[in-house]
Structure 1
Amino acid sequence: MTRQRDNRVMLITYADSLGADLKELKTALDTWYDKAVGGVHILPFFPSGADRGFSPKTYESVDPVFGSFADVEAIGKDRWLMFDFMVNHISAQSAYYQDFLARKDESDWKDFFIRYSKFWPGGAPTPEQVEAIYKRKPRAPYIEARFADGTEDKVWCTFSEDQIDLDVSSPAVRAFIDRTLDGMADHGASVIRLDAFAYAVKKPGGSCFFEAPEIWELLEGIESRMAARGVEILPEIHEHYTIPLSLARRGYWIYDFALPVLTLHALYTGNGTWLANWLKMSPKHQYTTLDTHDGLGIVDVRDLLPQEETDRVLDLLYEKGANLNRKYSSEEYGNLDIYQVNTTYYSALGNDDARYLMARAIQFFAPGIPQVYYVGLLAGENDLELLEKTRNGRDINRHGYSLKEIEENQKRPVVQNLKVLMELRNTHPAFDLEGDLDVTAADGHLCMIRRAGQEALMLDCDFDGGTFVIEDLKRGERLWPLK
């Protein structure tokens, strides 16, 4: 049974990162975060060929290393759940693609994939058509498919060579999408995150990124099917802020991926003007982030920060951050996205407890539902040992915690205080989703007031002093600093 999405803080975690598996994840939540965590985004827990779960072989089972659907559903008894659907692609190791390679035109899955010979007029793209594509690679996005009969063809592949794009215009893929979505609803998803959604529609001659009107038609079909099951959808898009805002205007929930860098800018420089401008225009129906399983998105603040201020915050990130180096976000460490910086948020703030808690307070006062990544939940530092072991830049922010480590971290004041802030965010009536936010920035301060009916809660951040105050204006009571 699907649990209704509510307004409490959501945790983002891998199935094996807070404890060794799903059972231990539930133990960790029940033991230490019963009141602090209301929802859980369990990052892809299906059998996968690559990319830490984001290249699924199937959605019909849970990777046995993590547990079973029963374990997922057990977590969902007390908390609402978010699942990932990689609507753009499937693993090259999946039965679908392997059968396609073995049987080619005789395969039941032949229409799942985008063959260049059939997609492009004339069988191949022109240089101009390749140039028009919004690419993640320095060439046309394809992999050479070698069939059992000895023939070859190029097949569309946006990301890694294990992540083969699906042809969402195909009736066979549309039926697969429907089956997958229904299965997620059956297993208790309250929200389904549509990963890499903007890449799903391809058109010869177009950018093949957020192609209208087809992308809207795909989204509307998915939303309509899931609304009938009481499940919300969340398209995941890292791009210019106008694209997610266009989704919000049509009533969809979106991500606020601009908040992380804008908050860093304010904390680094003492100037909250640009952050305040963004908070004033942010929609109410969004999920806020400071950290995720990916790096900090720089493209998301384009035109929200002047370019010179974006350059400045990047320079300050490496100057003020702890154990940070530009090479960790380079091709040397497998980073293919030049618009992301790999670090934990705590280390981006120099492992400074006070400024880290201030950043979280800003996030919790922002419009929408806050998401806290599991490393951020424990104020985790950059994991250089794991980074050097895997040579994967994003692993700097993917430390795996045993139950013993989680217990030990509960003794740290920053972890205890973050939990207090999360519980305040979950329980105070001023944080009603449909309430309002007043925000001002001046003289090194940022003042945010959340209002809902007669309730009013104020956050006043002193960037220069590195301190903040929270006051219940209705009751005339100071809630922070703690007594």
Structure 2
Amino acid sequence: LKTLNNVLLKYFSDIFEGGIHILPPFPSSGDRGFAPLTYLEIEPSFGTWEDIKAIGENFDILVDLMVNHISKKSKYFQDFIKKGRNSEYADLFITLDKIWEDGKPKQEDIEKMFLRRKLPYSTFTVEETGEEEKVWTTFGKTDPSEQIDLYIKSQKAKDLLKEFFMNFKKQNVKIVRLDAVGYVIKKLGTSCFFVEPEIYDFLDWIKELADSLEIELLPEVHSHYSIQYKLADHGFWIYDFILPYTILDTLINKSSEKLCEYLKVRPKKQFTMLDCHDGIPVKPDMDDLIDTKEARKLVDVCVERGSNLSLILSEEHKAEDGFDVHQIRCSYYSVLNCDDDAYLAARAIQFFTPGIPQVYYVGALAGENDTENVKKTGEGREINRHNFSIEEIEQSLKKDVVQRLLKLIKFRNEYDAFNGEFKVLDCAK
């Protein structure tokens, strides 16, 4: 974190005026920070809360809160594994009797769910009794999972989230991204994803808490675009997960028709992005906006250019013709064939689109696909998670494409017209 602050002050002090999104700096047992043990401490190998505060002196800070889950190695779950139902933290977690009365999972219910792993639960053995406990685990590549879902209906979970928010306030955090918030409600007979109206009860509760602490919220929901628009109608900032694919389609297929149509109707209160630590959203974000035959062709081009894919597991949530691409994982510079002009055109479209533009660190340095790290770790998302040395940062900053990008960012930050009215004119394809 000290190095990050030095790099920001030395090279980017007049670039990221809107703030810095620091991906999870908390102690974590997996998923590159997304299986946090706690939000009350910073991972010692990264630094301390004092380092975060130091960055906060010059930049507004955005951090993630995984509202859906916490690490298997957290003190809370470790106590549960030791004592089972006698643990003071037992009500933080979703034992299966909180879903099915007899505690026995039913396949017909599971088939309706939007699954992120083959089964939505993991089995653990309680140390003191030797009994098996099945608890809900939406995410996780291991079995049992590293990421244990929180029972957000319980007062215990609400008190814990409140404690985390109070600490964020104390540490001068300005924005909190609600990671995986779409999965917090578990209800039989549904997909267990963005379950209405219950999801709004939770969002209203957490918004009231955040408002009382003067913290902005940014819900992260990968879903059908209509759900994003409902969040916008409820007054939340949302992510524009449609723009990255639409810009990619525009530049690869050389037609602006879909882009212009989209820009005319999209909500304006959005964070825009092209790239991130996961991938370019496809399904379900682009459902009903793309033709799957055309999408397959676009995906094939991306794979030819070195991308790898995240796929949807549950049959029910694939397209009728079997199209199952969840995300295209790549560096945005690489997926545009490392073409400087195409990349800058993509960024220009992003910056001219109303909202708050975010630029991922790999994108800011026009980084390429890190295929070596994918091979080394076996994790497809590592393709766009390169660890830059100071020397690599300095080399990247000398590249013509990066210098042009920095000029474009300054223009977006400083030019008065961006506070004006946005209008899309009719134009040729």
Q: TM-score range by the shorter chain?
A: over 0.9
Q: 1:426: Cα distance to partner? A: 0.6
Which secondary structure does the structure 1 equivalent of 2:422 belong to?
strand
Return the structure number with greater strand share: 1
The answer for the alignment partner of 1:146 in structure 2 is 125
Following superposition, the deviation at residue 325 of structure 1 comes to 5.0
Deviates more, 1:111-120 or 1:55-64: 111-120
Judge conservation of contact 2:151–2:157 (CA < 8 Å) in 1. Answer: yes
Alpha-carbon distance between aligned partners in 1 of 2:396 and 2:329, rounded to the nearest angstrom: 23
- Aligned residue identity for 2:336: L
Other structure's SS at 1:153 match: strand
In the alignment, is the contact (CA less than 8 A) between 1:198 and 1:237 conserved in 2? yes
Q: Give me the whole-angstrom Cα distance separating, in 2, the residues matched to 1:254 and 1:239.
A: 12
Q: Residue 37 in 1 paired to residue 16 in 2?
A: yes
Deviation at 1:246, TM superposition (A): 0.6
Q: Secondary structure at the match of 1:100?
A: helix
Which residue identity does 2:105 align to in structure 1? P
Match status 1:95 vs 2:95: no
Q: 1:362 to 1:342 in 2, by over 3 A?
A: same
| Alignment map for 1:27-426 (pairs within 5 Å) | 27-38=6-17, 39-139=19-119, 141-148=120-127, 149-160=129-140, 161-299=145-283, 300-319=285-304, 321=305, 324=306, 326=308, 329=310, 338-426=325-413
Find the counterpart in structure 1 of residue 415 from structure 2: 428
How far apart, CA to CA, are the structure 1 residues paired with 2:170 and 2:289?
A: 40
Secondary structure of the residue aligned to 1:132 is coil
TM-score by length of 1: 0.83
**Offset at 1:52?**
0.6
Name the counterpart of 2:319. none
Are 1:278 and 1:304, in contact at CA under 8 Å, matched by a contact in 2? no
Alignment length (residue pairs): 411
Match of 2:13, as an amino acid?
D
Aligned-pair CA distance for 1:206: 2.4
CA distance 1:271–1:360, shift in 2 (3 Å)? same
**Conserved 8 A contact 2:99-2:186:** no
Question: Cα 1:218–1:119, aligned 2, differ >3 Å: closer, same or farther?
Answer: same
User: What 5-or-longer segments of structure 1 have no aligned partner?
Assistant: 1-21, 332-336, 445-483
Whole-angstrom CA distance in 2 between matches of 1:138 and 1:53: 22
Q: RCO greater where, 1 or 2, for CA within 8 Å and sep 6 or more?
A: 1
CA distance in 2, matches of 1:155, 1:103: 14
Q: CA deviation at 1:309?
A: 2.8
Which segments of 5 or more consecutive residues in structure 2 lack a partner in the other structure? 313-323
Distance 1:112 1:429 in 2: 49
Evaluate the alpha carbon distance shift between residue 232 and residue 359 of structure 1 in structure 2; reply closer, same or farther with a 3 A threshold: same
Q: What is the alpha-carbon distance in structure 2 between the residues aligned to residue 409 and residue 206 of structure 1?
A: 47
Decide which moves more: 293-302 or 50-59.
293-302
User: Hey, what does 2:321 align to over in structure 1?
Assistant: none
Counterpart CA distance in 2 for 1:330 and 1:254 is: 23
Q: Which amino acid aligns with 2:30?
A: A
CA contact (8 A) 1:87 1:197 kept: yes
TM-superposed CA distance for 1:350, in Å, is 0.2
What amino acid does structure 2 have at the position aligned with 1:385? E
In 2, Cα distance between equivalents of 1:410 and 1:185:
34
Distance 2:106 2:300 in 1: 39
Alpha-carbon displacement from aligned partner over 1:306-326 (angstroms, at most 9, x marks no partner): 33332232233234x3xx155
CA offsets per residue over residues 267-319 of structure 1, 9 Å max, x none? 01111111111111221211001000001111122222233332232233234
* 4+ long deviations beyond 4 Å: 328-331
Deviation at 1:142, TM superposition (A): 0.5
Give, in angstroms, the shift of residue 200 of structure 1. Answer: 0.5
1:119 deviates by 2.7
- The question of whether the paired residues in 1 share the 8 Å contact of 2:302 and 2:328 is answered with no
AA aligned opposite 1:366: T
State the SS of the aligned residue for 2:50. Answer: helix
Deviation at 1:125, TM superposition (A): 2.8
Q: Kindly provide the CA deviation profile for residues 327-347 of structure 1, in whole angstroms up to 9, marking residues without a partner as x.
A: x6579xxxxx84111110000
Counterpart secondary structure, 2:423: strand
Is 1:26–2:5 an aligned residue pair?
A: yes
**3-state DSSP of counterpart to 1:266:** helix
Letter in 2 for 1:341: I
